[in-house]
């Protein structure tokens, strides 16, 4: 995440991030040296929100690589193979509903029943918890039609990084709209 202050005064804002809770080193004005930050330290709360003060005509930059503390454990290897476009089929859903200006309709789905998940089984076969889509047998890989008019800007924002049809909620790199997650 990069922030810049272009005006004559400093700015203080809250930003929604996708970073895990912890302290992060502002690597625009410093660097990590032996686990310590030589610049400003920015805190990210458990809700992913960071309070950042940007001085006038200055910038800040934090990322997962600038997290202070022990290194994060390595991510497990995905259990699903990469998407081969030749294996994909097209699905078209027609939906008619009268809506108000600004109202969004989102379709949810998945195939937990196809892999033994559900109420009757004590141990569901689907992965549980946030951001499990690459490892979840119940998450269906998908591609989006991205050539849509500008008036669908909500769809364009939220569909960025959305690669699976599933019941688990947003994906780790899924887009935000005005700092709001799907």
10-residue mean pLDDT series, the chain (182 residues): 58 84 90 88 90 82 85 65 67 68 63 49 64 79 70 73 76 74 64
Name the strand (E) or helix (H) holding 153. Answer: helix 153-159
DSSP state of 129: S
The four Cα atoms 96, 101, 104, 105 give a dihedral, to 10 degrees, of -10
The Cα–Cα gap between 41 and 23 comes to 6
Residues contacting residue 182 through CB under 8 Å, at least 6 positions apart:
106, 158, 162, 169, 170, 174
Beta-sheet strands, E only, within 7-96: 11-16, 22-25, 32-33, 36-37, 41-44, 49-54, 58-61
Task: State pTM to two decimals.
Answer: 0.40
CATH H-level superfamily of 2-66 = Golgi alpha-mannosidase II (2.60.40.1180)
Where, residue-wise, is CATH 2.60.40.1180 in the chain?
Answer: 2-66
């Amino acid at each position: 995440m990069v922030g810049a202050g272009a005006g004559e005064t400093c700015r203080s804002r809250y930003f929604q991030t996708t970073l895990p809770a912890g302290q992060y080193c502002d690597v625009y004005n410093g660097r990590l040296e032996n686990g310590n930050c030589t610049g400003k330290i920015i805190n990210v709360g458990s809700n992913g929100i960071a309070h950042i003060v940007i001085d006038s005509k200055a910038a800040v930059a934090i990322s997962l690589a600038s997290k202070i503390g022990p290194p994060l454990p390595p991510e497990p290897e995905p259990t699903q193979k990469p998407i081969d476009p030749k294996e994909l089929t097209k699905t078209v859903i027609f939906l008619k509903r009268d809506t108000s200006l600004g109202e969004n309709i989102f379709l949810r789905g998945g195939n937990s029943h196809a892999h033994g998940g559900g109420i009757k089984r004590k141990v569901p076969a689907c992965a549980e918890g946030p951001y499990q889509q690459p490892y979840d047998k119940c998450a269906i890989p998908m591609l989006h039609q991205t050539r849509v008019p500008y008036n669908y800007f909500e769809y364009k924002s939220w569909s960025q990084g959305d690669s699976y049809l599933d019941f688990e909620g947003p994906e780790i790199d899924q887009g935000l709209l005005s700092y709001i997650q799907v």
